[in-house]
């Protein structure tokens, strides 16, 4: 069972709650959408799922139906209390009240691999995904519903308008692809943008030092209209560009993750 639009409004009214704009709260009110996400998550009995921003549990209930073990994380105290009641009949679901941006992942998920599934608000989507990829290796796969523009950045290829620093970071740690689109009409309240579902699957990263790599990437993309010889003039020499096989006149969006790694390795040598 998942929530209809009237049921969401009823649950909010019963607890004197309302969607919080500061937390980007938009609740899914469409059974087909949440079951589609649960299906795309490819989880079942024996799998461990972390759901970030569980809200009133529309997606949580769909994940519970897969019989995976679900840890639902919700930062809003009122919603977390409501969610515990909503999922009380599902022993495979555990709810914690916590901020995913400051979560102690070691204590929360333990040593075993997990899948992260979430409907992420715009203001936390990029930093949360980046932090998880950087620091929580046990999250082997992510399936996130985000604003379409953010999804396009996550999965962008070089030489496209959406390609940026976060595209390189994700490509370093994982493979990303958009697996579906979600209209604004399925949310309560209705947002002004379309959403998309992105699957991010970890792979073995290159041996390149990620700290140096991402420093170069951020520095260059902060001045993305400039040639690399200008934006990186203080950190990369002409000789290092030559060693890496990178044209100093290139702009940051022209380099794929392999080329960025080559440049970082030339600088580190």
DSSP state at residue 190 = P
What are the tokens at 20?
Answer: 């919080």
DSSP class of 191: P
User: Can you spell out the DSSP letters for 131-189?
Assistant: HHHHH-TTEEEEEEEEEHHHHHHHTPPTTSTT--HHHHHHHHHEEEEEEEEE-GGGEES
CA distances 78 to 17, 56, 102, 197, Å, are 7, 10, 19, 27
Among 62, 39, 63, smallest CA distance to 50 is for 63
Distance, in Å, from the CA atom of 70 to the CA atom of 148, rounded to the nearest integer, reads 26
Q: Domain containing 231: what range?
A: 210-268
Q: What pLDDT score does 153 carry?
A: 98
Which of 243, 242, 246 has its CA nearest to residue 257?
246
Distance in angstroms (rounded) separating the CA atoms of residues 222 and 257: 17
Pairwise CA distance, residues 172 & 211, whole Å: 12
Q: Are 53 and 120 in contact (CB under 8 A)?
A: yes
Q: What is the pLDDT of residue 1?
A: 62
Pair (150, 246) in one structural domain: no
SS3 category, 62: helix
Structure tokens at 11: 């649950």
Together in a domain, 129 and 161: yes
Q: Are residues 222 and 256 in the same domain?
A: yes
User: Other C-beta atoms within 10 Å of 249: how many?
Assistant: 11
Q: Which of 166, 184, 202 delimits the end of a domain?
A: 202
Residues for the chain: how many in total?
269
Tokens representing 145?
């519903």
pTM over 0.75: yes
Check residue 3 and give its pLDDT. Answer: 81
Question: Where would I find the beta strands (DSSP E) of 34-148?
Answer: 48-52, 69-74, 93-97, 114-119, 139-147
- Inter-residue contact 214 to 169 (CB < 8 Å): yes
CA distance 158 to 135: 25
Same-domain pairing of 176 and 241: no
Residues 195 and 218 in one domain: no
* Class of residue 234 by CB neighbours under 10 A (exposed 0-12, middle 13-18, buried 19+): exposed
Same-domain status, 171 and 252: no
Q: Last residue of a domain, which of 202, 228, 256? A: 202
Is residue 164 domain-shared with residue 242, that is, in the same domain? no
Residues near 228 by beta carbon (within 8 Å), at least 6 away in sequence: 220, 236, 241, 246, 247, 248, 249, 250, 251, 252
Count of domains forming the chain: 2
Q: Please report, in tens digits, the pLDDT of each residue of the chain (269 residues total).
A: 678 878 888 888 888 888 788 777 888 999 999 999 999 999 999 999 999 999 999 999 999 999 999 999 999 999 999 999 999 999 999 999 999 999 999 899 988 999 999 999 888 999 999 999 999 999 999 999 999 999 999 999 999 999 999 999 999 999 999 999 999 999 998 888 999 999 999 999 999 999 999 999 999 999 999 999 999 999 999 999 999 999 999 999 999 999 999 999 999 99
pLDDT at site 8 = 86
Q: What is the CATH number of the domain that holds 253?
A: 1.10.8.100
């Amino acid at each position: 069972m998942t929530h209809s639009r009237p049921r969401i409004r009823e649950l909010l009214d019963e607890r004197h709650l309302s969607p919080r704009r500061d937390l980007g709260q938009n609740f899914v009110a469409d059974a087909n959408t949440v079951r589609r996400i649960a299906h795309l998550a490819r989880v079942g009995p024996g799998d461990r799922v972390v759901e970030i921003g569980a809200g009133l549990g529309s997606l949580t209930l769909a994940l519970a139906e897969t019989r995976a073990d679900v840890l639902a994380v919700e930062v809003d105290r009122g919603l977390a209390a409501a969610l515990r009641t909503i999922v009380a009949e599902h022993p495979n679901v555990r709810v914690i009240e916590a901020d995913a941006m400051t979560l102690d992942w070691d204590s929360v998920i333990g040593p075993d691999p997990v899948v992260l599934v979430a409907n992420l608000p715009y203001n936390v989507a990029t930093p949360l995904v980046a932090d998880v990829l950087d620091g929580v290796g046990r999250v082997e796969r992510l399936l996130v519903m985000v604003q379409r523009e953010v999804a396009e950045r996550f999965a962008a290829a070089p030489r496209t308008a959406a390609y940026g620093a976060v595209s390189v970071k994700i490509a370093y740690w994982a493979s990303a692809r958009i697996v579906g689109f979600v209209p604004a009409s399925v949310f309560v309240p209705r947002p002004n943008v379309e959403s998309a579902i992105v699957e991010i699957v970890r792979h073995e990263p290159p041996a390149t030092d990620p700290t140096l790599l991402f420093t170069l990437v951020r520095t260059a993309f902060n001045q993305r209209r400039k040639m690399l010889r200008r934006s990186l003039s203080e950190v990369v020499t002409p000789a290092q560009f030559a060693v890496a096989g990178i044209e100093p006149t290139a702009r940051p969006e022209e380099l794929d993750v392999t080329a960025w790694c080559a440049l970082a390795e030339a600088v580190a040598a």
